[in-house]
């Protein structure tokens, strides 16, 4: 049985002081949650968040990680820097990074390898555009993204790698993939992972993201291959995100 994981991706939202008041309010509300809860906050909020999450069951995540460990890479943040702030998860290859910041399948792979080098669990994001879905290529696109992202990742590392399916047309649009569409793609993803890693694929956690809310979480989470949610907008609100963490 795979346990459930709910990850909040705050994107470029909340200052350190807003982070402090948000976490102080939400942490007591998610104490009873039986799922793994992760807050992926902006880099500038990791320090305060790491202090507030200490001693709680909630986990800290970053929204990116450099593929280099140190050196002349202006603007980058290394795994060692994250580790010292108790970061245990890192989002990699979010579609917004692919779209606006030149992230490619190659850099996604390099970051995934780097995350494992620092014992940080990579949350590799994949997903197709609306056009790709409409032209019937969604599964091929996602297959290719996965194969490239996981190049040189060993079976042991794969077991500690999360794949998040985030159809681009569902992100921040209010249009959620139907539970059936999400399940169909996640089942396909697990099959590809099985081709790469055999039975280990059954132990890997696959998440869905894209306009997930407190209202649709239950139905999405009842799908057999869906092991959790990657939540954007709704993760910024105490009521919504705590409700979702408790449903999970
Ligand atoms: P929304 O939940 O706002 O659609 O964002 C999803 C997402 O991109 C999470 O990484």
Q: 61: closest CA among 80, 38, 81, 84?
A: 38
| Burial per residue of 111-141, b for 16 or more beta-carbon CB atoms within 10 angstroms, e otherwise | bbbbbbebebbbbbbbbbbeebbeeeebbeb
Instruction: Give yes or no for residue 127 CB within 6 A of ligand 1.
Output: no
d(CA 92, ligand 1 centre) in Å: 14
| Pairing between β-strand 59-62 and β-strand 36-40 as defined by DSSP bridges | parallel
Q: Residue 73: beta bridge partners?
A: none
pLDDT tens figures, 140-191: 999 999 999 999 999 999 999 999 999 999 998 888 889 999 999 999 999 9
Q: How far is CA 50 from CA 15, 21, 169, in A?
A: 14, 14, 33
Kindly state the percentage of the chain with pLDDT values over 70. Answer: 100
Instruction: Give yes or no for residue 213 CB within 6 A of ligand 1.
Output: no
pTM exceeds 0.95, yes or no: yes
Of the residues 116, 128, 166, 188, only one is catalytic, namely 166
pLDDT tens figures, 109-130: 999 999 999 999 999 999 999 9
């Amino acid at each position: 049985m795979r346990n459930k994981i709910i990850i909040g991706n705050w994107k470029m939202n909340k200052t350190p002081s807003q982070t402090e008041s948000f976490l102080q309010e939400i942490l007591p509300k998610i104490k009873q949650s039986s799922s793994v809860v992760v807050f992926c906050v902006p880099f500038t909020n990791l320090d305060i968040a790491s202090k507030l999450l200490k001693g709680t069951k909630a986990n800290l995540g970053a929204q990116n990680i450099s593929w280099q460990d140190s050196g002349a890479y202006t603007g980058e943040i290394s795994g060692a820097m994250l580790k010292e702030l108790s970061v245990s998860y890192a989002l990699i290859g979010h579609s917004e990074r692919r779209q606006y910041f030149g992230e490619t399948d190659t850099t996604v792979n390099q970051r995934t390898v780097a995350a494992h080098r620092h014992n940080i669990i990579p949350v590799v994001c994949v997903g197709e555009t609306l056009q790709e879905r409409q032209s019937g290529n969604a599964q091929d696109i996602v297959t290719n993204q996965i194969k490239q992202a996981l190049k040189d990742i060993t079976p042991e590392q794969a077991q500690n790698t999360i794949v998040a399916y985030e159809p681009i047309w569902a992100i921040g649009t209010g249009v959620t993939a139907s539970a059936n569409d999400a399940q169909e793609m996640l089942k396909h993803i697990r099959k590809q992972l099985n081709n790469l890693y055999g039975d280990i694929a059954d132990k890997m956690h696959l998440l869905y993201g894209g306009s997930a809310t407190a209202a649709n979480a239950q139905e999405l989470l009842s799908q057999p291959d869906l092991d959790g949610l990657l939540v954007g907008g709704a993760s910024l609100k105490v009521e919504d995100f705590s409700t979702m963490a408790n449903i999970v």
